[in-house]
Amino acid sequence: MKRRPNDTRDPSTDSLSLREVSAAARTTTDQLLTISDGADPSAGATASFEADVILIAHPENRRLGTRFRLIPGGSLDIGRSPSAGISLPEVPSLSRSHARLRFQGERITLEDLGSRNGTFLNDRAVRGPVELESGDRFQVGSVHFKFLHERDVEHAYHEAIHQMVIRDGLTEIYNRRKFQEEGTRELARAQRHDRPLSLVMFDIDHFKEVNDTHGHLCGDAVLKQLAARVGDLLRPEQVFARLGGEEFGILCPETAIDGAVALADKLRQLFEEARYEIGKSEVVATCSFGVAAATPEMTGFDDLVAAADRALYRAKNRGRNRVEVEPGPSGAADAG
Secondary structure in 3-state letters for 155-193: HHHHHHHHHHHHECCCCCCECHHHHHHHHHHHHHHHHHH
Single-letter amino acid code for the residue at 109: T
Question: From CA 316, how far away is CA 203, in angstroms rounded?
Answer: 9
Q: Taken in order 188, 191, 192, 193, is the CA torsion positive or negative?
A: positive
Helix pair 216-231, 257-273: axis angle to 10 deg: 130
Single-letter amino acid code for the residue at 178: K
Our answer to whether residue 90 is catalytic in this structure is no
Contact (Cβ atoms closer than 8 angstroms) between residue 70 and residue 51:
yes
Q: Taken in order 257, 259, 264, 269, is the CA torsion positive or negative?
A: positive
Contact (Cβ atoms closer than 8 angstroms) between residue 214 and residue 278:
yes
Can you count the helices (H) and strands (E) in the chain? 7, 18
Question: From CA 313, how far away is CA 320, in angstroms rounded?
Answer: 9
> How far apart, in Å, are the Cα atoms of 274 and each of 32, 222, 233?
42, 11, 14
The residue annotated as part of the active site, out of 50, 186, 246, 324, is 246
Contact (Cβ atoms closer than 8 angstroms) between residue 52 and residue 69:
yes
Name the helix (H) or strand (E) containing 249: strand 247-253
Question: Residue 69: which residues within 8 A CB-CB, separation 6 or more?
Answer: 29, 33, 50, 51, 52
Contact (Cβ atoms closer than 8 angstroms) between residue 54 and residue 158:
no
Contact (Cβ atoms closer than 8 angstroms) between residue 308 and residue 250:
no
| Active site members | 246
